[in-house]
Amino acid sequence: MPNIRLAHANILTAFHPQTVGTKVLDPHGLTSLILDAITTYDFDAQRIPGQGFLMLPDVAKEMVSAGVGPRSNNPDHYVTRFWRDRVGCYLRREYAAPVGGCAAIVYSRDAYASDPDVQADPAEMVKMTWPGCPTHVLVAVLAFAGPKPPLSTGRFVANLAGGNKESATWSADEIRAMAKDIIAYDDAWSVVAD
């Protein structure tokens, strides 16, 4: 195995004991699967070189809790949490759907360091230059259920506003299709929280 040094992005909360969205239940096991996936993934062949969406093997489903569950009309099924700079309403984790698949968003060091959101964060930029700096950065763990999850509404808009380089390559038809998918998904599914 090549010398992979994997860091966690500052926005990654899936490994925290209390979190919103996907939760990692077996940190060591999942990290091992991610490291294995990195060794065979072609980061250069992506739409934006260095930005990887790594599907993990089925065994990963036992190592995570899904980040979503079916939307409920019962207010008692929800909790409020402060997440991503705002208070929101989230489905209680006990109502999370069974995990249908698991993926990791991993960037190469160069791709991470050139991301506009990372460049705006001096602490993250320092992380990319310290001795023994990471070769790869784990940006997100996605334990999904139901239909393929689109970007969240907030992430979609942030990307369009310049928060991610790939969004600059999207056509108007792609943007409209993505927006339609985001609305349909949000009508049927809720993000979960501890």
* Beta-bridge partner residues of 183: none
Which residue intervals of 24-142 are DSSP H helices?
27-40, 109-113, 116-119, 122-127
C-alpha to C-alpha distance for 177 and 43, rounded to whole angstroms:
26
Residue 1 placed within a domain: no
Q: What is the pLDDT of residue 162?
A: 86
CA dihedral 136, 141, 146, 151 (to 10 degrees): -70
pTM of the model: 0.83
Alpha carbons 112 and 106: distance in angstroms, whole number? 9
Domain range for 23: 6-193
SS3 assignment, position 119: helix
**Please, what is the end-to-end C-alpha distance for the chain in angstroms?**
36
C-alpha of 32 from chain center: 18
The verdict on residue 109 lying in a domain is yes
Kindly write down the DSSP assignment for every residue of 86-112, as one continuous string: EEEEEEEGGGPPPP-EEEEEEEEHHHH
Answer yes or no: is 129 within a domain: yes
Cα angle, residue 21 at apex, residues 66 and 162 outer, rounded to 5°? 125
Q: What is residue 84's predicted lDDT score, i.e. its pLDDT?
A: 83
Asked if residue 189 is part of any domain, the answer here is yes
Q: What is the pLDDT of residue 166?
A: 85
Q: Indicate whether 142 belongs to any domain.
A: yes
The pLDDT tens digits along the chain (194 residues) read 468 999 999 999 999 999 999 999 999 999 999 999 999 999 999 999 999 999 999 999 999 999 999 999 999 999 999 988 899 999 999 999 999 999 999 999 999 999 988 999 998 988 888 778 899 999 999 998 988 778 888 889 988 998 878 888 999 999 999 999 999 999 999 999 99
Structural domains of the chain, count: 1
Q: What is the DSSP letter of 20?
A: B
